Structure 1
Amino acid sequence: MSEKTVHCFVRGRVQGVSFRVHTLKAAQQLGLTGWVRNLSDGRVEMKVRGDDERVDRLLDWLPKGVPSGLVDSLETDTIASEAFEGFAILPDGGG
């Protein structure tokens, strides 16, 4: 089983719509680790680690998984492996 870590930026109507909470629940259900946070420029940033297939399932879910959200673009980059303890919502960051 192969694992990967992905760094993502999500743009669109993704703040004020419980995007992070829905993403947290979806990641936990898939057994993934990492974090998600709002950025000051209106985007959401996320790092997620886990089985390749499960990470891909979360990334496929993002554009349609939050009922009141609207994803305009999703930038992803596979990065060097990072270890995370569970999946968390982090405090807002720069951007």
Structure 2
Amino acid sequence: MRFMVEMTVNLPPGDHSALLAREREYSQRLQRDGRWEHLWRVAGRYANVSIFNVGTPDELHELVSGLPLFPYMDIRVTALAAHPSAIATEEER
């Protein structure tokens, strides 16, 4: 199941270098194992749009709530479905 996840980060002032390092490690691990397929920065904002490919909505919730920055995020999730006019392989659908 693919989901578009829009994340906006609202960190309070301060040094967050250790927190950001943990966030990078966690997110890159999910990208390497294929569950976090795409990660795009939203220009001009501390925000991203991501595509996750997971088995269930519960798995997505577990992954997203495990992000070290999760307590500082506003998150919007949209379930995605294959478009009949899209040029894509069966694996991408």
Bin for the TM-score computed over the shorter chain: 0.5 to 0.7
State the 1:43 CA deviation.
0.6
| Distance (whole Å) between structure 1 residues aligned to residue 71 and residue 7 of structure 2 | 10
State the 1:46 CA deviation.
0.6
Match of 2:59 in 1: 54
- The CA deviation string for residues 18-40 of structure 1, in whole angstroms up to 9 with x for no partner, is 545531214545x6251112221
Is 1:12 the equivalent of 2:32?
A: no
Match of 1:93 in 2: none
**Superposition RMSD on alpha carbons, in Å?**
3.2
Query: Which amino acid is the alignment partner of residue 61 of structure 1?
Result: G
Which has the larger strand fraction?
Answer: 1
Q: Which segments of 5 or more consecutive residues in structure 2 lack a partner in the other structure?
A: 12-16, 83-90
User: Sequence identity of aligned pairs in percent?
Assistant: 8
Q: Which segments of 5 or more consecutive residues in structure 1 lack a partner in the other structure?
A: 85-95
1:11-90 → structure 2 map (5 Å cutoff): 11-13=8-10, 17-18=20-21, 19-28=23-32, 32-40=35-43, 41-52=45-56, 53-62=58-67, 65-66=68-69, 71-81=72-82, 83=92
State the 1:44 CA deviation.
1.4
Residues 57/73 of structure 1: CA separation in 2 closer, same or farther (3 Å cut): same
State the 1:45 CA deviation.
1.3
